Structure 1
């Protein structure tokens, strides 16, 4: 009995244990079921929109296609740079497209078009051979394949050995080379991004055949590409700048910058000067395509969802007729000066602008080879710098007035200067005597001595024969240099172009001789554009205005007419010089005398301009290949009383005078031609 009760008790315990285990399993199963139901509900209800978007993005993909750039016009609405359409054949690679499928398309496409093979590299040929001769390649690489599978060599080592072994075996026929060229173009494109296969010399027959057989050519399409067209030939060609080709795409040095702004790797961008500076304006609004793919990633259809538009147009401040005439005048005067003895002259640079608003009207530069060949050097007007000589003397006087070192009409004796240590300085017009002159006459005669004495007064010194020059001239040098800077000399003008130079400013702290030379334009160097900004600042009563080449941005028009104005670019006033109107007028009277008084250094060239003009000349001593030369400079404006145009001219490396060559005649002809054209 006791044994039976004990046995029953053990059986009951076992049943209870089993029941508890079943309960635990049941609870676990129910919990998992509940979690699964909740998860399904979350995915179907909460995340349904996200998954719909994911499906849509998987099957409907928007791709940007290139569009033509904006046009470039001159100030009078004359078209300078346009786009010329050309036929193109493109390939868009699917997300799951295999190499074998691309080669099949290339092989089929080769039946309809001819493909240049001259740009195929050895690696292109080897890559094609590897993909199309797998059995032969496998036999060549048995040893390396085994080593790679056993992790004895890396993928890089395997690939290096592969191309080295395959090289001698690559022998492709002409037809295979064409297919290889097509394949290399197709493989270079990103997934679902149109890649230009051929856009040069696509014949009407080729274009038609490909268009008719698109069903046999998955991913292939026909479209229109474009190239820049320059309606005035080489005129200003370098200033317009370069646009990259489809093959070049984004420049490697700036690729991250462009990719972050939505560019594709094969997009064409401005690489220099105006095309580069105004890339955001000229680039245009891309065409958008919708590609529908199937589950395997193959493109099944496409649709244009936004036709896009070409870039905005820019209107330059340049007058193209004036520009061409100035260039012809430069070439004419180069021939005249070379015939007169300027055989080593190597550059002529000219800037013509409106002094009242910063508009650049003409920007011209020419380089001359030793044989006399003349080539364009327009960008040299703001990317190169020169010692400019006495042209800067107006800025020296105005700095002296502001520092209370000299006063209006102050007279000084122009005489040879002697300093301790054997340093001697003198004016060219007065080699030995003593001549009393005032500030206006100092400009007219281009007196070096008047400027030297002014510089000494700025340093707190009065000249006495045999005096010692100060050991430390840092403070006075900084004062005089800042005086030059406020006119734009020695600082960037701010023109809307890349690569502008600021000029070179030498060490002044312990060399008073260099400080004196700074006062007459014989030490620091300046660009032709800085000279133009300087003379324009004096012409417009003291306002330094930022020069610019672009004066308007306009929306693209579907017709040949200009579109609506989007933005007007006006000259920005950078600063007002620290001088009174009386002081500016005094210098302008001196500049008037330079051109219109018989003793003036510019009289021979400028006294009979059609409209009365004023300005300054300069001669800077330089060396070319160890031989002494001079840079001749001419700056001016017209009319003299209410200037409408200003100019600067630099001739580099002319022969040391005498005789004085008639370089100013170029300035005279520019003034006469400008106002003659204006009257017409």
Structure 2
């Protein structure tokens, strides 16, 4: 009896133990099911949309296709820069495409096109050799394979040894036809996944284009399309100013990759690299065509769909008058020949700016460089990226600075005479070497009196000239006054031209060098750009308003026809400052400029006295040194008509022979004025 009770007790204990275990297991299962349900709910509710997008992104991928850039027109609507279409063969690599599959596609494509091989590097040939000649490579690397398996060589060391062993002797054995395959493979493998990569877009023949188009179904990822290139309607005219656009091979500039990628560009996008193309990249770049590549689970492209049609970029309308531009360039070339035959064999640059003085529009700009053999090349950008001593052309600004600082008064007369200072320094005017001549401020401009400007500068420094006087020891404040006055006209400060790399000119120290201070008053110390001189004469021509120089007049929406599209933005002349002079003071200087061109004693009379409309201006000669030899820069500024000017100009010839004789450089200005008003008639 006791044994049976004991047995039942053991059985109950065992049953209770079993029940507890079952309960623990059941609870664990319930907990796991609860966690699983919560996790599934989290994935479906909280993360469902993001995972759906992730799946979609693997199957529906948007990419951008390049489109042509905007056109560039002159102020009269004449097309200057266009796009020309050209046939292109492209390849789009799938997400899971292997190198073997790319190579096989390259072999197929090589049957239909001739591919240049000049871009192949030695490393490209080594890569191709390794990919296509495995047995030969294995034989070369038998010892290294064993060392690699034993851990005696790292992957990097193994690869380095392999490339060292595959020398040029091996790659030179690759047949020419295989090199074409290697060149195609190189282009195919260099592109990003699901991003069209140009394989060939230069000299694609009709036959090649047709054969590839007919066999697209045999070559996964290969496509035919139309690419574009810049077309310059007027040939080399202004081509350097339009700037360069990168090729697909160049893509984004290395130093600006991050900047452009952040703005939505692709690495192989073509962008403006210089001048107008660079400055107005955001305007000229087109709106890309958006495509969707539909892939299967393996990443293979099974279909494409156009999401949004692209369009070319917005158009630029320039301030340039292309007809005037062509004439100016032709005149420059003609006068270079005339001056060289007249003795200016060392002259190395000619730069010209023509503009509307009333709104800052640049109507024409031309630059030429002449090498020692007489070969002429374009240097248009030198009009705002280079700087020169310009001589007496600045004297109008010097007088107006003297007026505004109350150092001299309108109509003031001074004695032009050799100035002799303590220490033996002597300064004089070219037109009057030894005499004493009483001249007014207007006559000082007409004769180009250095002495009148020197005495004005001394008055700015708070002193009057007396024979054998000592020059002021510290001209810091006087130098600031004179420079500030010149700055008001744009001399020594940037013009604001809408192009990169503009120079501000070069200014030297003015403190304890009073001789240089005097030279500054006659344009013989600081240096300025041709565009600054153009802004300066325009400021006087329009009665005192310094207006920002600009090359773009309008931005227009792209049109599907040859006509200009609607206006998006207009660039009007922005007034930067008004000079601190009265109209009476400005008129006095303008009267002096009139005398320079229209009085027989005027330094510009010979060239400008008989222009088709009456003109006014100033000439200048700056002493410079070229290769240890004395030379001069000859300059000419002017505007026309003399009353209510419609155009202004600046001309500089660098490194001409020291006169006499005086070479007729001003004839170029005369021809420009006459051509401008012939066109207006």
TM-score bracket for this pair, using the shorter chain length: over 0.9
Separation in structure 2 between the aligned mates of residue 225 and residue 480 of structure 1, nearest angstrom? 56
Separation in structure 1 between the aligned mates of residue 461 and residue 28 of structure 2, nearest angstrom? 97
- Say yes or no: does 1:88 pair with 2:93: no
Residues 403/119 of structure 1: CA separation in 2 closer, same or farther (3 Å cut): same
Residues 106/600 of structure 1: CA separation in 2 closer, same or farther (3 Å cut): same
- Say yes or no: does 1:182 pair with 2:157: no
SS of residue paired to 1:242 = coil
Match for residue 629 of structure 2?
Answer: 627
| Unaligned stretches of 5+ residues in structure 1 | none
Match for residue 518 of structure 2?
Answer: 516
Separation in structure 1 between the aligned mates of residue 256 and residue 147 of structure 2, nearest angstrom? 40
Residues 215/4 of structure 1: CA separation in 2 closer, same or farther (3 Å cut): same
Separation in structure 2 between the aligned mates of residue 148 and residue 505 of structure 1, nearest angstrom? 66
Separation in structure 2 between the aligned mates of residue 112 and residue 421 of structure 1, nearest angstrom? 85
Match for residue 422 of structure 2?
Answer: 420
Residues 179/449 of structure 1: CA separation in 2 closer, same or farther (3 Å cut): same
Shift of 1:150: 4.6
SS of residue paired to 2:263 = coil
More displaced stretch, 575-584 vs 628-637: 575-584
Match for residue 77 of structure 2?
Answer: 77
Shift of 1:13: 6.3
| Unaligned stretches of 5+ residues in structure 2 | none
Match for residue 124 of structure 2?
Answer: 124
Q: What is the root-mean-square deviation in Å for CA atoms of aligned residues?
A: 1.7
Separation in structure 1 between the aligned mates of residue 452 and residue 249 of structure 2, nearest angstrom? 61
Residues 402/152 of structure 1: CA separation in 2 closer, same or farther (3 Å cut): farther
What TM-score do you get using the length of structure 2 for normalisation?
0.97
Match for residue 548 of structure 2?
Answer: 546
Matches within 5 A, 1:247-646: 247-646=249-648
- Say yes or no: does 1:214 pair with 2:222: no
SS of residue paired to 1:482 = helix
Match for residue 195 of structure 2?
Answer: 193
More displaced stretch, 400-409 vs 348-357: 400-409
- Say yes or no: does 1:655 pair with 2:657: yes
Shift of 1:225: 0.6
Separation in structure 2 between the aligned mates of residue 226 and residue 177 of structure 1, nearest angstrom? 27
Separation in structure 1 between the aligned mates of residue 151 and residue 250 of structure 2, nearest angstrom? 38
Deviations 1:150-209, CA, capped at 9 Å, x for gaps: 554443332222111112322111221111111011011111110010111111111111
Separation in structure 2 between the aligned mates of residue 565 and residue 648 of structure 1, nearest angstrom? 31
- Say yes or no: does 1:100 pair with 2:92: no
Shift of 1:46: 3.4
Separation in structure 2 between the aligned mates of residue 204 and residue 327 of structure 1, nearest angstrom? 39
SS of residue paired to 2:84 = strand
Separation in structure 2 between the aligned mates of residue 158 and residue 109 of structure 1, nearest angstrom? 33
Separation in structure 2 between the aligned mates of residue 144 and residue 48 of structure 1, nearest angstrom? 50
Residues 430/130 of structure 1: CA separation in 2 closer, same or farther (3 Å cut): same
Deviations 1:382-401, CA, capped at 9 Å, x for gaps: 11110000000111111111
Separation in structure 1 between the aligned mates of residue 368 and residue 166 of structure 2, nearest angstrom? 52
Residues 125/405 of structure 1: CA separation in 2 closer, same or farther (3 Å cut): same
Shift of 1:468: 1.1
Separation in structure 1 between the aligned mates of residue 553 and residue 657 of structure 2, nearest angstrom? 40
- Of the three residues 234, 242, 245, the one matched with 2:244 is 242
Shift of 1:375: 1.6
Deviations 1:67-112, CA, capped at 9 Å, x for gaps: 1111111111111111111111000000110000001001111111
Separation in structure 1 between the aligned mates of residue 147 and residue 586 of structure 2, nearest angstrom? 85
Separation in structure 2 between the aligned mates of residue 570 and residue 220 of structure 1, nearest angstrom? 49
Deviations 1:192-237, CA, capped at 9 Å, x for gaps: 1100101111111111111111110000000001111111111111
Match for residue 26 of structure 1?
Answer: 26
Deviations 1:474-519, CA, capped at 9 Å, x for gaps: 1111111111111111111111111111111111111011111001
Match for residue 42 of structure 1?
Answer: 42
Shift of 1:12: 6.1
Residues 145/256 of structure 1: CA separation in 2 closer, same or farther (3 Å cut): farther
SS of residue paired to 1:308 = coil
More displaced stretch, 337-346 vs 4-13: 4-13
Separation in structure 2 between the aligned mates of residue 607 and residue 151 of structure 1, nearest angstrom? 92
What TM-score do you get using the length of structure 1 for normalisation?
0.97
More displaced stretch, 222-231 vs 36-45: 36-45
Count of residues paired in the alignment: 679
Match for residue 64 of structure 2?
Answer: 64
Separation in structure 2 between the aligned mates of residue 154 and residue 465 of structure 1, nearest angstrom? 87
More displaced stretch, 36-45 vs 126-135: 36-45
- Say yes or no: does 1:161 pair with 2:161: yes
Deviations 1:357-411, CA, capped at 9 Å, x for gaps: 1110001011112222222111111111100000001111111111111111111
